Amino acid sequence: MTTDSSVRVSVLGLGAMGGALAGALVESGYATTVWNRSPGKADDLVARGAEAAATAGDAVRSGRLVIACLLDHDSVHEVLDPLRDELAGRTLINVTTTSPAQAREFAAWAARAGVAYLDGGIMAVPSMIGRPGSSILYSGSAEVFHEYEPLLGVWATSTYFGEDPGLASLYDMALLAGMYVMFAGFMHGAAMVAPAGVTAGEFAARATPWLTAMTGALEGLAAVVDGGDYTVDGQQSLEFSSLDDLLTASSDQGISTEAVAMVQRLIQRQIDAGHGGEGFARIIESIKQPG
């Protein structure tokens, strides 16, 4: 990958993720200006070759590409609203975690300000930046994505989802939903076996290969959902999928049933609607149509 030394990058926000992004750019030879609201966080980056800006305005004015990695959507407005005129004619890549609606709102703000805008969803923890396995999802300006694709590749594998600036965030949030619910299920299982003297580490050794194997079922579930026929052969029925025994076992262990009860409610709503003989994939209908 070739570094374009004419590109001066300004990184706004040096939290754990912003610092990792800026550090990867510096290590790859990009001229990088950094700014953070609280002092001191730029010291290590400066020692490695970055230039510290005293203000966000100074950082924006130092180059034509601005990277925002701030706390939240409100903080992006707080930092950039006063710099609207300075940003005009520049490019902004916003990798702050936002909702799809917030991404679209800020893209509209950028368009009114004359700023080329690309939104990003980071599917990695800071230590993964610049390493295999990290991924960042993008949507918004195709021109910006393709122009700066070599730079984006310094951080992670880059995937572009189209001109709708909210799509990257939508994918980001949807993938996180799957991750967090899975993690909650693991924690529930670890809590179940703890009274029997089983450590979380011992349980993880059993759970990891099991859960990994179970992810192989996702494509099959997806095919059923996309086909719209929950009666096809080979599916485990909702009635057979009832988690009543699991809930009872959890209560007997003296732990909360909240994580599992949520899934049981999705199952029961479809059973109550007369679909108990249909496949487990049908719970997506409970999710699509909140009770």
24: pLDDT strictly greater than 80: yes
Per the CB < 8 A criterion, the answer to whether 253 and 195 are in contact is: yes
Residue in the structure block whose two tokens are 């719970």: 283
Looking at residue 235, what is its pLDDT?
A: 86
Cα distances (Å, whole numbers) of residue 254 to 120, 191, 194, 248, 260: 43, 9, 10, 10, 14
DSSP state of 194: G
Query: What is the average per-residue pLDDT within 187-207?
Result: 98
Cα distances (Å, whole numbers) of residue 11 to 37, 63, 273: 12, 10, 53
3: pLDDT strictly greater than 70: no
pLDDT interval class at 234 (50, 70, 90): confident
Looking at residue 290, what is its pLDDT?
A: 85
4: pLDDT strictly greater than 70: no
Looking at residue 2, what is its pLDDT?
A: 44
Say which residue, 262 or 39, is predicted with more confidence: 262
Looking at residue 1, what is its pLDDT?
A: 41
**Which of 160, 120, 149, 153 has the alpha carbon at shortest distance from 134?**
153
Per the CB < 8 A criterion, the answer to whether 129 and 156 are in contact is: yes
pLDDT interval class at 271 (50, 70, 90): very high
Domains of the chain listed by start with CATH number: 8-170 (3.40.50.720), 199-288 (1.10.1040.10)
Query: What is the average per-residue pLDDT within 250-263?
Result: 98
Q: Going along 23-78, which residue ranges are E strands?
A: 31-35, 51-52, 65-68
DSSP state of 236: P
Take residue 261 and report the two structure tokens written for it: 């009860």
Per the CB < 8 A criterion, the answer to whether 233 and 245 are in contact is: no
pLDDT interval class at 226 (50, 70, 90): very high
Mean pLDDT score of the chain: 96
Query: What is the average per-residue pLDDT within 32-60?
Result: 96
Give the model confidence (pLDDT) of 93-129 as tens digits: 999 999 999 999 999 999 999 999 999 999 999 999 9
Looking at residue 197, what is its pLDDT?
A: 98
Looking at residue 5, what is its pLDDT?
A: 58
